[in-house]
Amino acid sequence: MLPRFAVRHPITVTMIMLGIVILGSISVDRLGTDLFPSMYNPQLVVELQSGERSPLEMETRFARQLEGDVRSVSHVVDVHTLCRLGIVQVTVTFAWGTDMDFALLDVQKKIARYETRSDVDRVTLSQYDPQAAPVLIYTMSGASRRDLDEIRRLAENVVKLNLERLDGVARVQVYGGVRREVLVKLDAYRLAAYQISQQNVADAIRQSNADASGGTLDYNNKAYTIKGIGRFGNIDNVGATVVGYKSSGADEDSLNTGNRQSGRVFEPEKIPIYLTDVATVTYTPADRTELVRLGGRDCLALYIYKEAEDNTIRVAKQAEGALDHMALELPILSFQRIYSQADFISNAIGEVESSAVVGVFLAMLVLYVFLRNVGATLIISMAIPLSILSTFTLMYFQELTLNLMTLGGLALGAGMLVDNAIVVIENIFRRRQIGEDAAEAAILGTAEVGVPIIAATLTTI
C-alpha cells in the first residue's frame, strides 16, 4: 500500500520530505542540550541558616522540629537532615509521580513560620540535588585585599540574590572573603554602676533585633498585613539598644512633698541606658574559616547550582550574561570563570556529533564499494539525514534534549536504517534483473521485504 502510493505520487512524497526537512531544521535549533537526559527528581531541599550555632544546637533548636513539619506533607517517603555550623539542610524525598509544583507549595506553607523567627537568619526552599556538582564556578575580587569585606557583602546582598532570581538557578553559594561582625565589648565597671548583668544586655540585644507581627488590618474590602521592622540595619542601631533604665536623680520624697495635699504621687523619671553607655560597639573581622585564592591573591568563589530538571547550557548562559552585566554596573568587581559544566557538555556532545557525521560518510563509502552504484548509494544516504531530521521534530514535541543518550540512540538508529535500506535496494535490484520495470520492481520489491524488516526493527527496539 505505502510503496505503491510513494511510486504513484512522487510530488506528494517530495513535499512530505521537504516538510520533514523544514520542521527538523527548525526543531534542532530549539532543542536543549545537556550531558544526560533530564531525570525526574522528586526531592526538595530546605535550608535554614542561624548565625554561627554549633551543629548540635542546630539539631536540637531547629532540625527536629523542621523534620516533623515536613514529614506531615502528603506523599513524603523520606527525610534526610544534615546539620553544619549555622546551617540545617533537610532533603525531602517524595513518592514517584508526585506533582512537585504542589509539593513545593505544601512545604512552603509548613516552613513559612520559621521566616518570622528572630533566631533565624534565612530559610530557602529549592528543588536541586545537594550532591550535584555546580554548573558554574566563578571567582570574584576587588581592587585590593582591603576591599574583601565590602566584596563579600556585595556578593551576598547583590550578586547572589540577582543570580538566584534567574530561571533555572537553584542556589548560589559564596565562599571566601572576609565577613564583618559586630563586637560588643562590655565595660564591667559601668555594668556594676548601673546594676546591669551581661545576661540583661544579651537579652536586650536579642529582643531588639527582631521583627514583630502586627496582625492584619481590614480596610475597604482589603486585608493588609502589618509587620514591625525591628532588625538592626547598621551599627548605630545596635548601639542605640536600650539595656536598662535609671532614675533621673531627683529624690523621690522631694518630688512627692509638694503633692501630698492633692493626693498625687509622682514616680521619678526613668532615663534609658543605651548599649553605648556600658559598652564599646565596633565592627571587627570574623574568624576566617574559608580561604579562596587565585594567582596568589585573596578572592571569593561563587558556586552556581541549577534546578534538577533544567537545561545546563541554558542556565550557564543566563548566569554568565547576568555576571557580565553586573561587572559593567559595578566596576569595582572583577569576575573570572574557573569551571563551566556547559563547556564540558558542549565538547562531549560535539564529539558524539562528529562521530555520527563521520560514521555516515564511512557508511556511504562502504555502500559504494559494495554496490558499485552511485544512485543506490545516494538514495540510502539521503534516508539517513531525513530520518534524523524527523526524529528531531518528535524530540522537540516530546521535550527531549540532545544528550549522550539520545545522540547515541540516533547513531545506532542510523546504522539500523542503513541495514534495512540495503536489504530493500538489493531486493529491488533482483526484481529488475528478472525483467520487471523500475516502478513495478520498486513497489513489489519493497512490499516483499517490508513486513520482515519492520518486525526485525521492532524486535531490536
Residues 195 and 276 placed together within one structural domain of the fold: yes
How much is the pTM?
Answer: 0.62
- pLDDT tens figures, 383-406: 778 888 888 898 888 888 888 788
Q: Domain of 61? A: 42-126
Beta-sheet strands, E only, within 61-179: 76-84, 87-94, 122-126, 136-141, 169-176
Residues 195 and 224 placed together within one structural domain of the fold: yes
Residues 13 and 76 placed together within one structural domain of the fold: no
Cell of 403: 544528550
Q: Of 357, 365, 368, 376, nearest to 432 (Cα)?
A: 376
Helices (H), 88-197: 100-111, 148-154, 160-164, 188-194
CB 304 within 8 Å of CB 159: no
How far is Cα 115 from Cα 215, in angstroms, rounded to an integer?
A: 16
In angstroms, the Cα distances linking 35 to 312, 314, 363 are 8, 12, 27
User: Does residue 333 belong to any structural domain of this protein?
Assistant: no
Last residue of one domain, picked from the residues 252, 285, 318:
285
Which residue is associated with the grid cell 552504484?
Answer: 373
Residues 100 and 8 placed together within one structural domain of the fold: no
Helices (H), 372-403: 374-397
Q: What is the pLDDT at residue 291?
A: 82
In angstroms, the Cα distances linking 393 to 26, 117, 403 are 8, 51, 15
User: Does residue 105 belong to any structural domain of this protein?
Assistant: yes
How far is Cα 436 from Cα 370, in angstroms, rounded to an integer?
A: 23
Q: What is the CATH number of the domain that holds 276?
A: 3.30.2090.10
Count: domains in the chain? 3
Please give the full DSSP string across 272-291, using - where no structure is assigned: EEEHHHHEEEEEEEPPP---
- pLDDT tens figures, 245-293: 887 655 555 545 555 555 555 556 678 899 899 999 998 877 777 788 8
CB 219 within 8 Å of CB 167: no
Last residue of one domain, picked from the residues 254, 270, 285:
285
- pLDDT tens figures, 317-371: 999 999 999 988 888 888 999 999 888 888 877 776 777 677 778 777 877 887 7
Q: Coil, strand, or helix at residue 147?
A: helix
User: Does residue 327 belong to any structural domain of this protein?
Assistant: no
User: Does residue 85 belong to any structural domain of this protein?
Assistant: yes
Residues 99 and 23 placed together within one structural domain of the fold: no
Residues 46 and 91 placed together within one structural domain of the fold: yes
Last residue of one domain, picked from the residues 248, 265, 285:
285
CB 149 within 8 Å of CB 179: yes
- pLDDT tens figures, 70-118: 999 989 999 999 999 889 999 999 998 888 888 989 999 988 888 878 7
Residues 379 and 401 placed together within one structural domain of the fold: yes
How far is Cα 111 from Cα 122, in angstroms, rounded to an integer?
A: 11
